[in-house]
């Protein structure tokens, strides 16, 4: 059995029967002739192995970045195993703007379109032009454009029709040379004369102050999604909680910070059987003191039940939770 403690950032001392490294397309093709993976793992920053895993794991180690440009756009093609934050840092060093709001998000480039990662008012779907993937069904490389990726809030076709079908190999980005900085969200609104560098540095500073370093305290980042609710649901909650923070998605839907819901119920900083609701960011659950997968699931369910009872909102977990042979849905 192979230890998974270093392969997922929550750090539970779990084990797997098989982990295969995919570091080239030839390796990918060869492995695909033998079996199909149950789990495709990048850096394990959004996956939690709650117990020993008996399926087949492939670890994405594909690498390579190319830059081209024309008068209007920077075009970047990135292998899916590249580290996301290192890509952001490289772009900032080259004065290529667009990614700076997404600095310090953990994980690989290949995870970005799956999750449609986002932060501080920016989602990666704004910059993706195409995604290349290996289709396990017919064992060929295919390319899908951004429209057909069906991007939504922390969502994409790779979580639905192409789940367990696609191994993302490359992501193609188009970043306009003329665009407006996005600084209306949170602490970024306090920036004077914002620039690529100042936004990048501010995002890193805020994230380091609010979010635990997974190298020091095991965690998988935001555990729950921010719920998007109908306007009438929000208005009913607002009657009792006039100061509830919120972000209009459309005329009919409102996004509410899950961290506020959890914090309002007093969970921030609390510890249950080795798992802590982080004292600076209630959206993050951490492996505070040798917790277990079972204790994590129990605490997450306690929080979820309390939020539903008080606000009538059902939280969805953002992280991928894995049991012995299959995904877990709370």
Q: Which residues are catalytic?
A: 154, 222, 318
Cα–Cα dist 38/63, whole Å? 22
Segment (H or E) for 320: strand 320-322
Q: Say if strands 320-322 and 47-49 run parallel, antiparallel, or are unpaired.
A: parallel
CA-to-CA dists, residue 67 to 107, 149, 224, 322, angstroms: 21, 23, 35, 36
**Packing angle, helices 84-93 and 196-210, rounded to 10:** 150
Per DSSP, the residues of 110-160 read THHHHHT-EETTEEGGGTEEEEEEEETTTTEEEEEETGGGT-BTTB-GGGT
Measure the N-to-C terminal CA separation of the chain; round to a whole number of Å: 27
Tokens found for residue 92:
């900032």
d(CA 156, CA 224): 17
Sign, Cα dihedral of 47, 120, 80, 131: positive
Q: What DSSP letter does each residue of 22-63 carry, written as one string?
A: E-SHHHHHHHHHH---SEEESSSSSEEE-S-EEEEEEEE---
| Residue 200 buriedness (CB in 10 A; 0-12 / 13-18 / 19+) | buried
- Contact by Cβ (8 Å): 275, 285: yes
Give the contacts of 30 (CB within 8 A, at least 6 positions apart). Answer: none
CB 123 within 8 A of CB 132: no
């Amino acid at each position: 059995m192979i230890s998974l403690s270093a392969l997922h950032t929550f750090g539970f001392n779990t084990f797997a029967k098989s982990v295969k490294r995919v570091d080239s397309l030839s390796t990918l093709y060869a492995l695909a002739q033998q079996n199909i993976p149950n789990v495709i793992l990048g850096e394990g920053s959004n996956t939690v192995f709650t117990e020993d895993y008996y399926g087949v794991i492939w670890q994405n180690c594909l690498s390579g970045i190319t830059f081209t440009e024309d008068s209007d756009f920077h075009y970047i093609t990135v292998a899916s195993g590249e580290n996301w934050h290192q890509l952001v840092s490289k772009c900032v060093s080259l004065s290529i703007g667009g990614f700076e709001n997404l600095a310090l998000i953990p994980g690989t480039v290949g995870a970005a379109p799956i999750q449609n990662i986002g932060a501080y008012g920016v989602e990666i779907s704004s910059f993706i032009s195409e995604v290349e993937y290996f289709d396990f069904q017919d064992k060929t490389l295919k390319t899908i454009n951004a429209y057909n990726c069906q991007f939504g809030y922390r969502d994409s076709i790779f979580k639905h029709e192409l789940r367990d079908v696609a191994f993302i190999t490359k992501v193609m980005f188009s970043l306009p040379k003329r665009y407006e900085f996005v600084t209306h969200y949170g602490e970024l609104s306090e920036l004077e004369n914002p620039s690529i560098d100042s936004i990048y540095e501010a995002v890193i500073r805020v994230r380091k102050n609010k979010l635990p370093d997974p190298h020091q305290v095991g965690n998988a980042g935001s555990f729950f999604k921010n719920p998007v609710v109908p306007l009438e649901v929000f208005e009913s909650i607002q009657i009792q909680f006039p100061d509830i923070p919120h972000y209009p998605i459309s005329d009919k839907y409102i996004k509410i910070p899950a961290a506020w819901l959890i914090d309002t119920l007093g969970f921030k900083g609390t510890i249950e059987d080795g798992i802590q609701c982080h004292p600076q960011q209630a959206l993050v659950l951490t492996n505070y003191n040798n917790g277990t997968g079972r204790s994590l699931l129990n605490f997450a369910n306690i929080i979820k039940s309390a939020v539903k009872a008080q606000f009538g909102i059902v939280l969805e977990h953002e992280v991928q939770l894995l049991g012995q042979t299959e995904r877990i849905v709370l």
